[in-house]
Structure 1
């Protein structure tokens, strides 16, 4: 991309963000070309639908490379990316359907359970292509819901702090409990994780932990005793760990942590030795999409070998397809530690996490375990 085009894009992004609603940050990527071409399909798309509207929970910094690569292949199509919280995306989809308003052309959410509910309740349309068929069976459901990434939950820590105090960062959940118990004064108010009442991803991670780690509630009680700092997003936790405001994080998104560690070597990233929870972002084409053909075109690009490679190499989103050459980080997870991976298959089984009675019991237990810090 040229410097001039970069400046134009940045100006467009800033202007759109200033005019956007309180719910979303809207990032506009104008078409790379605007004159007509001889390709009838491209010409039709340029006349009727100049922009693909995407609702997504991924940070724009990590997701913009795949948008720009898509536009390299589709220069007459603009992209409007609405960066939203997962619950906001879900609520907007319900509201827009109820009010007969057009929805996005594609929704990509990190809340697997909410996306699965939309698909199961009839809010998604079917799409089948050579790219969707290339996905492993577990990564697609009824050609309506598609896993587009695989992302591990990791432990992150401040390297300088651990060196200064001659501490070993925890490599298992039992190690984590032992570290906080032994150094409770040193690590008080220095630990962070998701607030599962506000973070769908955080809730899924902890629910998966409960299934595979019998000591999970002892773990949560130890976090409470350490006056854990709770956040709904990954980025602020990584920033605070890197600059030393906190020094240890649990169940953070590995895609963001790995990317952040490349820019800030003071951030250490650990794949737990006992087991690794891996979740996926799920994409659906909404039934009330403005332009479902554009949503399908963008989805197919993301699921292509090229798109999956860009998601991996530029955003550290591990690919779902098995025929994509793996990065060192992906290879470490799925080759070296493959038997430790605990994934979420795409399907109705995810709906168990939305059972309101079970969810309320789970959150009450979480609150009780953290009671001494509330």
Structure 2
């Protein structure tokens, strides 16, 4: 079922929340079948007509098929999905716990480092099941933090612009740099990437680039000279590339880019030939969850073969489990480019990206490089 059809059935509502999350949206997915057990006391002990509250950073258009598929298997469970920026999600979780307010039942964030900090600092409860046991070792930590997707950073470009200007889209970072140098006037104000001060995943992608691409700071200086446009979300970058407001994007989220390209043929998507940075969305069940059993049930569905397949087929969220049949996009990444994949294992190693002194030095260097303009 598409999101458009869901809007009619589910009465999806966008609302402004408290000041700390003024840009959040809440989407309501009522239970498909309201029912009551014969014994009224049993209703208090079961999940009849309960609502699972999920905080997530994934766009509702990409994530709603997983919610709808879950409800087909759990028709008496409603879903309340809060679409949030990752830092908002992190701050809300801490503030809710400090005030004694109930947390969400499940938190799914693209900021691996922030999720890992929540788990490491005691904000997650353990959950073990046949589905979590099916994950590879790198994808879970202490049965408290779980990778649910694998998503690459890609290059995106406007096919018409490159064709009309007889340009070859870049397939490596070095080629990207040389393209900008050789076409400085033509591409000025026509390139986009993440604002790493506002985007957690953008920061992670660039930090990984620094480790594996020796020319990264020359690359960033050239982006600055080309007057790069910075955004905190992937979707507006893809839209602007497709309609020609900008024509080239770096380190964009591959799951969204691949989905967008299917309905917008003018958007080209490239997996870099030199290496591919792959990150994962991490899910935790917060210690103050309203209904942790519902959070665990939704988590288990996402990690099941069926759930992983839905995530892959509907949103190009590549599966974590090895026993899920791969889509052509997923197979291309992990079979053809396998040795060139640079991923992030789930574990305390992610906390290095939150070391405030190191983070500030990295951001200052990024700022200095970008400001080196003509």
- One fold, TM greater than 0.5? yes
Deviation at 1:45, TM superposition (A): 3.1
Partner of 2:272: 272
Check conservation: 1:45, 1:77, Cα contact below 8 A: no
Compare 20-29 and 60-69 and name the one that shifted more.
20-29
User: For the structure 1 residues 370 and 45, does the alpha-carbon distance in structure 2 shift closer, same or farther, using more than 3 Å as the test?
Assistant: same
User: For the structure 1 residues 92 and 69, does the alpha-carbon distance in structure 2 shift closer, same or farther, using more than 3 Å as the test?
Assistant: same
Query: Secondary structure of 1:238's match?
Result: helix
Deviation at 1:13, TM superposition (A): 1.1
User: For the structure 1 residues 105 and 336, does the alpha-carbon distance in structure 2 shift closer, same or farther, using more than 3 Å as the test?
Assistant: same
Partner of 1:303: 303
Structure 1 residues 17-72: Cα deviation after superposition (integer angstroms, max 9, x where no partner): 1464524100000000002368998884344x610000000000000000000000
Partner of 1:73: 73
Query: Secondary structure of 2:46's match?
Result: helix
Instruction: Note the residue ranges of structure 2 that are not aligned, 5 or more in a row.
Output: none
Deviation at 1:179, TM superposition (A): 0.1
Q: Aligned pair 1:93/2:89, yes or no?
A: no
Query: Secondary structure of 2:283's match?
Result: strand
Partner of 1:245: 245
Check conservation: 1:37, 1:43, Cα contact below 8 A: no
Instruction: Output the CA distance in 1 between the equivalents of 2:85 and 2:79.
Output: 19
Partner of 2:129: 129
Partner of 2:197: 197
Query: Secondary structure of 1:27's match?
Result: strand
User: For the structure 1 residues 42 and 359, does the alpha-carbon distance in structure 2 shift closer, same or farther, using more than 3 Å as the test?
Assistant: same
Instruction: Output the CA distance in 2 between the equivalents of 1:7 and 1:233.
Output: 23
Partner of 2:64: 64
Deviation at 1:211, TM superposition (A): 0.3
RMSD: 2.0
User: For the structure 1 residues 289 and 182, does the alpha-carbon distance in structure 2 shift closer, same or farther, using more than 3 Å as the test?
Assistant: same
Partner of 2:46: 45
Instruction: Output the CA distance in 2 between the equivalents of 1:35 and 1:95.
Output: 35
Partner of 1:34: 34
Instruction: Output the CA distance in 1 between the equivalents of 2:166 and 2:224.
Output: 24
Partner of 2:142: 142
Instruction: Output the CA distance in 2 between the equivalents of 1:42 and 1:271.
Output: 50
User: For the structure 1 residues 274 and 41, does the alpha-carbon distance in structure 2 shift closer, same or farther, using more than 3 Å as the test?
Assistant: farther
Query: Secondary structure of 1:13's match?
Result: coil
Deviation at 1:2, TM superposition (A): 11
User: For the structure 1 residues 38 and 316, does the alpha-carbon distance in structure 2 shift closer, same or farther, using more than 3 Å as the test?
Assistant: farther
Instruction: Note the residue ranges of structure 1 that are not aligned, 5 or more in a row.
Output: none
Give the TM-score normalised by structure 1: 0.95
Check conservation: 2:192, 2:229, Cα contact below 8 A: yes
Structure 1 residues 154-195: Cα deviation after superposition (integer angstroms, max 9, x where no partner): 000000000000000000000000000000000000000000
Matches of residues 1-374 of structure 1 in structure 2 within 5 Å? 6=6, 8-10=8-10, 12-14=11-13, 17-18=14-15, 20-21=17-18, 22-36=22-36, 44-47=45-48, 50-373=50-373
Instruction: Output the CA distance in 2 between the equivalents of 1:150 and 1:20.
Output: 30
Instruction: Output the CA distance in 1 between the equivalents of 2:312 and 2:38.
Output: 33
Check conservation: 2:16, 2:23, Cα contact below 8 A: no
Query: Secondary structure of 1:132's match?
Result: helix
Check conservation: 1:23, 1:88, Cα contact below 8 A: no
Check conservation: 1:42, 1:76, Cα contact below 8 A: no
Instruction: Output the CA distance in 1 between the equivalents of 2:310 and 2:205.
Output: 26
Aligned pair count reads: 370
Give the TM-score normalised by structure 2: 0.95
Instruction: Output the CA distance in 1 between the equivalents of 2:17 and 2:364.
Output: 36
Query: Secondary structure of 2:249's match?
Result: strand
